[in-house]
Structure 1
């Protein structure tokens, strides 16, 4: 995804969850919260778009619905990036910095250590 893809703020995953999963399954926020072992208030905030989906919620949701956790996190990330792209001005002041000694795009990624 590149910056030209952000002509509008992309949808928050909460309403997507409600429309594509909760409504067809006839689930209320309380029922979903009980199935996920979380507070109803958290589900309500996510559905309304007030709260972001985090990794824990995405894992629980993926297990319950048979989806991947990554899809929920990518939806959240796309929403967050599009919102920042359109509303934030600070990132636009940053200029690209080149490294003259090596092309990082062709270098292998360093191994990450588990913490």
Structure 2
């Protein structure tokens, strides 16, 4: 049976440059231009304030988180910065925090009226 190790160049036992199954690697620096955009400060602040609004302080931080999240999402959609996911997280947590605060105010008001 004939030797099956003949590769590029026709010489037995010789392998093509780069090894079997691997082509030449592109030089460093190729890929997406500029890399991924870093999250903006607004997006990060929106997410942090949304978390604080859900966990600690239920009234003011969710409102700020919602406003900053909307602004950061618009910036990310225009390509002026990254952090779209953080901005959406801030919008969602800010909205939920506002809903919890409103619900708490309604419950407290109803209990206060019922106690009279």
Instruction: Give the TM-score of the pair, scaled to structure 2.
Output: 0.31
Higher RCO structure (Cα 8 Å, ≥6 apart)? 1
- Name the one with the larger helix percent: 1
Instruction: Give the TM-score of the pair, scaled to structure 1.
Output: 0.31
